[in-house]
Amino acid sequence: MSDSRAAILSRIRSGRAGQPESPAAPPVAPVPAGVPKTTALVDRFVQEAECVGAVVHRATRDGAIDLVGRLLVDAGVRRLVSWEPDDLPIPEALDAAVDRGIQLVEPSLPDGVEPLDRDWTTMAAADAGLTGAAGGLADTGTVILRSGLGRARLTWLLPPLHLVLLHAPFIYPTLPAFISARGELVGRSSHVAFVTGPSRTADIEQTLTIGVHGPKVVQIVLVERDREPAPESVAGDRIDG
């Protein structure tokens, strides 16, 4: 080894030795006695999601239908790209948006083109994307998305605003807990994304920029109901090709 290379490696090692260890992620606190488990997880999820820049709204199923339309109008959305209605936790939410005069962007599919190979330039013209979620992680405020037929991944990657519907009972303490409960969804999916707040990018000078490689705004509508929805009612239970 050359003297110059040895000197460089020595400086790197000495620099690392002086750095403090990264703090471990805070554990999910135990549920206090008398507090429903789902309520505690939802509260933790909301806290963590807002810490990373997401905007969280809590509503009943009926309230969420109207809320989706109002949020899109308030954000100045004129063109919307969405998952197929049957792949949204609340199919009526898409109708509520259209009823408010928002144009639904439906990319054309030329003959011989597979549904997943949509015209991305048309989708990029949308002001917002509407999706469901397979679950959420309370320890990080993350939403879990599954792409596939009717659930184009560009829906949450291209528009500047991502509006996601998530059933509160499908929030889990950690990723291992989600895998244990709903791991079959991951095994049946061609692509799974873990979205934690808006897109963030930092350059070599550590200048943080929002929205370069994804949406600038992530809004989550937590659908809270008196009873847990059946597994088949959650967006994205189709078997992907």
For β-strands 217-223 and 200-202, DSSP reports them as unpaired
Angle made by CA atoms 16, 18, 21, in degrees to the nearest 5:
75
Residue ranges per structural domain of the chain? 35-223
What is the pTM assigned to this prediction? 0.72
Interatomic CA distance for residues 140 and 35, integer angstroms: 21
CATH superfamily assigned to domain 35-223? NagB/RpiA/CoA transferase-like (3.40.50.10420)
Interatomic CA distance for residues 32 and 82, integer angstroms: 39
> How would you write the pLDDT of the chain (241 residues) with one tens digit per residue?
566 666 666 665 665 444 444 444 444 444 444 434 568 899 999 999 999 899 999 999 999 999 999 999 999 999 999 999 988 999 999 999 999 999 998 755 544 444 444 556 667 788 999 999 999 999 999 999 988 888 888 888 888 999 999 999 999 999 999 999 988 877 777 788 999 887 555 555 555 455 455 578 999 999 986 544 444 444 444 333 2
Most distant CA pair in the chain: distance in Å?
Answer: 72
Contact 169, 229 (CB under 8 A): yes
pLDDT digits (tens, 9 = 90+) for 104-150: 987 555 444 444 445 566 677 889 999 999 999 999 999 999 888 88
Contact 102, 72 (CB under 8 A): yes
